[in-house]
Amino acid sequence: MITPRYHREIPQRHRLEAGKCKQCGHISFPPRLVCPKCKSKSFETVNLSREGKILTFTIIRVGPDKFSKETPYVVAIIELSEGRSANAGVRLTAQIADCDVDKVEIGDKVKLVFRKIQDEGKSGLHCYGYKAVII
Amino acid sequence: MKEVAVIGVGMTKFGELWQKSFRDIFVEAALKAIENSGVDHIDSMYIGTMSSGLFVGQEHIGAVMADYLGVTPIPATRVESACASGGAAFRQAYFEVASGHSEIILAGGVEKMTDGADVTEALATAADQEYEVYNGITFPGLYAMIATAHMHQYKTTREQLAHVAVKNHKNGSMNPNAQFSFPVTLEQVMKSTMVADPLRLLDCSPVSDGGAAAIVCSLDYAKKLKKPYVKVIASAQASDTIALHSRESLTALKCVSIAAEKAYKQAGLKPTDINFAEVHDCFTIAEIVVTEDLGFFEKGKGGAAAENGVTSIEGKIPVNTSGGLKSKGHPVGATGIAQIIECYEQLTGNSGERQVKNAKIGLAQNMGGSGASCIIHILEAI
């Protein structure tokens, strides 16, 4: 992870800041300059709730070198409780922490927690963000 | 728009080509295609390569390849659309000929993946670097999440995934250019190392080196050359969100269904008119989902189709007669062109043991990322 790139995403990774379209109400995470639903360019910043459920997942058994200490680990697509649009919540990809990897199931309720995600090389920044834990 | 033909093709064997460099792999494929077509020159060329910068530390591929193929000063352009780079290069060649701007174009693709780069990390750059890869997902992981969702929603079974690998290895065992030209059993697939649940090693396409090239020209020019040629009757492309999690459906690839709809419309065909297809089976689940989204099978029935032999060479709609990415190999940038090559060989009756009977219309579906881009071509025998 390169420092400026990491620094720029801190509002999203640390505080789950999203962009709510002032025209149609669609929530984009991360925030964007153009609303993917109505093409409006006007947003307000909102903080996502930290609760949601697992839509799908996998257990990474062969992972990248930087995640070798955690392997095997679960990565899931999580739908948060608030509405992204009429029929779907905001979705994101996150690791499921503190779990028995073989017991995770679609539909499990989770909450997002603040965790270290990776390190920038051997002597660089610790890079933080969100992981999910099953509740 | 002028009508467009493919007049000749050439490829290297796919595999771990330790003795051959990135540039020599491309040049070998390009020379074969030029010789095979009988053309005396090319007007320009497009080269698909996904990540030469990460794999071999080389960019500016158009110039490198024009130089080493000995065709400077013709225009030469590198085209990138992740794993669909080859299909994208072919589509640029198609447009340049269709527009009437040029007569003969070389559309090529090449990748050198075994020179020591971190392949998992390089391939992951085709996903959302900040919001997927940062959190630890890998490419097998993305397709594994599609598989988990598909198995949950449609009751697709683990065995059905394995049947795709078994079929494609059987086809690849008859392809002299395939990286893994040997069959595998259902049991071998089911017992292979788990990579990202539920996908095992033998559900995944390999890390490969290889090059492929096709000579694209106007139909009028092809007629004059008196060599076997096939007609390109559709070229279509679509995009989707870079992150899998942003899509409405996790079990369907919208870029595939939209590109397919456009391609069928351009060709005036229905899915049932297609005699065989080369599809982007980077993972076994991808072939199942793609064959559904191309309209060959009802949604959720792709797994059963693979299991019941509907997609075998003798089946109703043979899929990946070349062995697919799974067995033939997946040198990323070359894959889209290699699919065109299989279509060309099937349609000109040169597929030997793999020949599909009465092959008149073939479809090539090339896909980038977890389905963020898709390029489809339909080719017809003359």
Domain that holds residue A36: 3-134
User: DSSP string of B128-193?
Assistant: -TTTTGGGT--HHHHHHHHHHHHHHHH---HHHHHHHHHHHHHHHTT-TT-SS-S---HHHHHHSP
Question: Chain A partners of B145 at a C-beta cutoff of 8 Å?
Answer: 56-58, 75-77
Among B215, B230, B245, residue at a domain's last position = B230
Q: Taking 70 as the threshold, does the pLDDT of residue A1 lie above it?
A: no
Tell me, yes or no, whether B221 and B271 share the same domain.
no
Quick check: B196 and A62 CB within 8 A? yes
Q: Looking at the 3D structure of chain A, how many domains does it have?
A: 1
pLDDT, tens digit, for every residue of B191-204? 999 999 999 999 99
CB of B243 within 8 Å of a chain A CB? The answer is yes
Quick check: A73 and B197 CB within 8 A? no
Quick check: B250 and A77 CB within 8 A? yes
Residue B126 maps to a domain: no
Which residue ranges in chain B fall short of pLDDT 70?
A: none
| Token pair belonging to B86 | 């080859």
Tell me, yes or no, whether B244 and B355 share the same domain.
yes
pLDDT band (50, 70, 90) for residue A72:
very high
pLDDT value for A65: 85
Tell me, yes or no, whether B156 and B107 share the same domain.
no
Q: State yes or no: is B343 an active-site residue.
A: no
Tell me, yes or no, whether B254 and B286 share the same domain.
yes
Tell me, yes or no, whether B103 and B224 share the same domain.
yes
Residue B129 maps to a domain: no
Q: Looking at the 3D structure of chain B, how many domains does it have?
A: 2
pLDDT band (50, 70, 90) for residue A88:
low
Residue with tokens 């800041």: A17
Question: Chain B partners of A30 at a C-beta cutoff of 8 Å?
Answer: 130-131
- Residues ≥6 apart with Cβ < 8 Å to A103: none
Tell me, yes or no, whether B49 and B149 share the same domain.
no
Residue B127 maps to a domain: no
Tell me, yes or no, whether B293 and B305 share the same domain.
yes
Give the residue from chain A lying closest to B138, CA to CA.
A63
Q: Taking 60 as the threshold, does the pLDDT of residue A86 lie above it?
A: no
Residue B335 maps to a domain: yes
Which is the catalytic residue, given B280, B330, B374, B377?
Answer: B330
Question: What is the mean predicted confidence (pLDDT) over A119-127?
Answer: 85
Q: State yes or no: is B217 an active-site residue.
A: no
| Token pair belonging to B201 | 């090693």
Question: Chain A partners of B117 at a C-beta cutoff of 8 Å?
Answer: none
B121–chain A nearest CA distance, Å: 7
pLDDT band (50, 70, 90) for residue A71:
very high
Residue B95 maps to a domain: yes
Tell me if residue B56 falls in helix, strand or coil.
Answer: helix
Number of Cα atoms under 13 Å in the Cβ half of residue A84: 21
Average model confidence (pLDDT) for chain B?
Answer: 97
Question: Chain A partners of B137 at a C-beta cutoff of 8 Å?
Answer: 60, 75, 93
pLDDT value for A82: 73
Question: Chain A partners of B130 at a C-beta cutoff of 8 Å?
Answer: 5, 9, 30
pLDDT value for B120: 87
CB of B144 within 8 Å of a chain A CB? The answer is yes
pLDDT value for B243: 98
Domain that holds residue B295: 135-205+233-381
Q: Taking 70 as the threshold, does the pLDDT of residue A94 lie above it?
A: yes
B308–chain A nearest CA distance, Å: 27
Among B161, B196, B230, residue at a domain's last position = B230
Quick check: A61 and B121 CB within 8 A? no
| Token pair belonging to B335 | 């894959």
B196–chain A nearest CA distance, Å: 5
Quick check: B245 and A77 CB within 8 A? yes
Q: What is the CATH number for A13?
A: 2.40.50
Whole-structure pTM value: 0.97
